[in-house]
Amino acid sequence: MAALTCFKSYDIRGRLGSELNEDIAYDIAAAIADIRGPKTVVLGNDSRESSAALKAALRRGLTDMGVDVLDIGMCGTEEVYFATTHLSADLGIEVTASHNPIDYNGMKIVGPGSRPLDPATEMDSLRQRAEAGGFVPALKKGSVQRVNPRADYAAKVLSFIDISKLKPLKILVNAGNGTAGPTFDVIKAQLHAAKAPLEFVEMDHMPDSAFPNGIPNPLLEENRPRTSAAVRQCGADFGVAWDGDFDRCFFFDQTGAFIDGYYIVGLLAQQALSARPGAAIIHDPRLIWDTTELVEQAGGRAVQSRVGHAFIKAKMHETGAVYGGEMSAHHYFRDFMNCDSGMIPWLLIAELVSRKNAPLRELVASRKARFPTSGEQNFTIAEPAEALKKVEAVLGLEALEISRADGLSLDFGQWRLNLRPSGTEPLVRLNIESRGDAALVAKQLARVTALLDSM
């Protein structure tokens, strides 16, 4: 087989047909069985049109090699994470392209205890074995069992909050026609059974593989206006929008204004440390000053990790961190198998707003003023490494500190930047923050943009 280009830094993503198809999915499944020898594997899929067929190919590859499959149907990625541990499976695979364009798909894979596969060793070995082919089917095929652990999953995520502390709130929820809607319904039913005083307004709630309102990726500015307008129209206390496999959630305040995930990390870090003083908190290198200051103030220990779920989770295990957050709206919890969840954060924010008796807008306003940011800027550049070299060559002499731990980070004292290639898309991502000077952010953003646009 030709080289498999769908293997990325920490998961599998590829363009349908050329980079990922049913034959490739079958070989990946057979390679997993051959290398790791699992007895039982959990399989799930998102709402994309191609996902069910790719999952069927995985199922065939696994069972042909003698592996038993627990199929949990259409679900979010975190439901596969939960089921892998909850059902004591050896492996879990979610077929999803998350927020990628409609002609893409992929897989997220975890091992026992919902641990990610190591990118440098396990994922690379898997790629090599899948490329080699020549699989010999087992004498006895594996079985397939359909299971539904969703109610247990819902109870798990609700265990992160004290329902009795919730005050009456109206929350707008936008599932983006991805997989979040049916799972949210079970969480909502359990909340109402527990007499939680929450009212929900739902939009784009049911899965639809055509994504009539666009690919569910609220990180893109052009995808936010409908949610913003809906929050204002219904008078919600805040709004929540998920990406396609709902392992990320995004927040809108009561005016409909989008809240950058960076500031949510700080809120959740403080909340985690209030229950576990002195614990470690993991953050990524793209934007750091708000998080590190809040963690220090709360008596915690801020630990930096490379971007990406596999790296963050490894660092969570290594440090025993209670919480980890990425500015891209991935939030990781020690008590959720050190995995990321898009459902736990909005529940925690609802509890925080209730406890503080303050609107979400007020909770983040001072932090945004203290550390204004550029918002993530994406550039399509053929040679990302050359872009990083050019920016360092021009700006590096001015920097007080240079780090290449993940992309390029330059600290100039009053402002800093991080520039890094995407691990899943052909993009270079730029983030800039300053110490209380929004005009400085704008000035330096224009400067760096001109450098990148000249390539």
What is the pLDDT at residue 444?
98
What is the pLDDT at residue 424?
62
Same domain, 365 and 233: yes
User: What total of structural domains would you count in the chain?
Assistant: 3
Residue 214: C-alpha distances to residues 217, 218, 356 (Å): 8, 10, 35
Same domain, 288 and 410: no
Same domain, 422 and 333: no
Q: CATH number for the domain including 31?
A: 3.40.120.10
Domain membership flag for residue 1: no
The DSSP bridge partners found for residue 12 are 7, 107
Secondary structure (3-state) at 355: helix
Same domain, 173 and 247: yes
Same domain, 272 and 295: yes
Same domain, 414 and 354: no
Same domain, 296 and 431: no
Domain boundary among 370, 392, 407: 370
> Residue 354 belongs to what domain range?
152-370
Same domain, 98 and 183: no
Domain membership flag for residue 176: yes
Same domain, 139 and 162: no
Same domain, 124 and 251: no
Q: CATH number for the domain including 419?
A: 3.30.310.50
Mention every residue, 6+ apart, whose C-beta is less than 8 A from residue 136: none
| Helix and strand totals (H; E) in the chain | 14, 21
Residue 194: C-alpha distances to residues 164, 232, 236, 346 (Å): 9, 28, 21, 17
Domain membership flag for residue 207: yes
Same domain, 328 and 225: yes
Catalytic positions: 98
Domain boundary among 324, 353, 370: 370
What is the pLDDT at residue 1?
61
Domain membership flag for residue 186: yes
What is the pLDDT at residue 297?
96
What is the pLDDT at residue 98?
87
Secondary structure (3-state) at 418: strand
Same domain, 229 and 351: yes
Q: DSSP E strands: which ranges in 56-212?
A: 68-74, 91-95, 104-110, 144-146, 169-174, 198-203
What is the pLDDT at residue 168?
98
What is the pLDDT at residue 454?
86
pLDDT in tens, the chain (455 residues): 679 999 987 889 999 999 999 999 999 999 999 999 999 999 999 999 999 999 999 999 999 999 999 999 999 999 999 999 999 999 999 999 988 889 999 999 999 999 999 888 999 999 999 999 999 999 999 999 999 999 999 999 999 999 999 999 999 999 999 999 999 999 999 999 999 999 999 999 999 999 999 999 998 889 999 999 999 999 999 999 999 999 999 999 999 999 999 999 999 999 999 999 999 999 999 999 999 999 999 999 999 999 988 889 999 999 999 999 999 999 999 999 999 999 999 999 999 999 999 999 999 999 999 999 999 999 999 889 999 999 999 999 999 999 999 999 999 999 999 999 986 667 899 999 999 999 999 999 999 999 998 87
What is the pLDDT at residue 425?
67
